[in-house]
Amino acid sequence: MNMPAPSFAQFLSKPKDIGMPKSIMLYGKPGTRKTSLSAELVKLPETKKILILDIDNGTEALVGDPIVEKALHSGQVDVMAVDSLDPNAFAQINAVIQEVANTDFGYSFVVLDTLNLMQEVAIKHFLATTTNSSGKLDSRAAWGEVSKWTDAMARMLHNAPHTAGIFVMHEKNEAEDTGQVSVIPKLSGSSKDTIASIPSVVIHLGFEKVAVGEGDDEQVVDKLVANLGGSEKYVSKNRFRLPDRIEDFTLVDMYHRIAARGEESAEAPAKAA
């Protein structure tokens, strides 16, 4: 017997939409490969195109990887550079994010590099344009607009039906009343407290000295380490049962791990049957 389709059928989520991150946040000190790790997602077979909205001049780091360089020349990786001192910078950023979030241009990933510098552009804009009922500039209201705009841009990409957002950010230390210091994404206003709730995965990146080998062959080397959870020191989030800590981290490897977990889950009902 054929049952009627509900009026909301078109809004039901597909398994493929549930099984992969809708957005990812990478944050850490400069030089922790945040931009290059994002561009390396072009190595995933399912990646069609990547757009990098570059306000940090971070795409210079892409030179050196032959696969990424080839993707740059072929147009599989597009870079839009925005000068933060340009009077039209805020309008450009705002328009691009809204356009790619609402229209399918074939971008599998849209990289905001960096979100905190984009917020600084927004701060200048809202401080210069936000007024009170008397028509005078209102700095207090302007900061509220900055936070709302930052969260709205992140949510827009997180909820975009055609693309996934990658939010690249710097880090800062925040001291609590207890004296404990946490490493958090570098944002101003209330966004610093709310932004981590938006992405599917929040990853802190940093180089750490790690012992490798055993006995006489043991040596200490610097490795890029991703902290994805289980730590009071870092703001992080992990909705995909990934390890709390991953050495020699790459986003490509992370996607492979998530895909493998999904394949195991899909096979389980068949084995049970």
> Which pLDDT does position 267 carry in this prediction?
53
> Which pLDDT does position 174 carry in this prediction?
84
> Which pLDDT does position 241 carry in this prediction?
87
> Which pLDDT does position 59 carry in this prediction?
81
> Which pLDDT does position 270 carry in this prediction?
46
Please give the Cα distance from 143 to 146 (Å, whole number): 5
Output phi, psi for 259, to 5 deg: -65, -40
pLDDT digits (tens, 9 = 90+) for 182-237: 899 999 988 888 999 999 999 999 999 988 888 778 888 899 999 998 788 899 99
> Which pLDDT does position 17 carry in this prediction?
65
- Is the Cβ–Cβ distance between 10 and 70 less than 8 Å? no
> Which pLDDT does position 213 carry in this prediction?
81
- Is the Cβ–Cβ distance between 225 and 247 less than 8 Å? yes
CA distances from residue 204 to 47, 111, 137 in whole angstroms, order as listed: 24, 16, 37
Q: Give the list of residues 6+ apart from residue 133 with CB closer than 8 angstroms, or none.
A: none
pTM of the predicted model as reported, rounded to 2 decimal places: 0.89
Using 70 as the pLDDT threshold, list the residues of the chain that sit under it: 1, 15-17, 177-179, 262-273
pLDDT digits (tens, 9 = 90+) for 93-104: 999 999 999 999
> Which pLDDT does position 40 carry in this prediction?
96
> Which pLDDT does position 157 carry in this prediction?
97
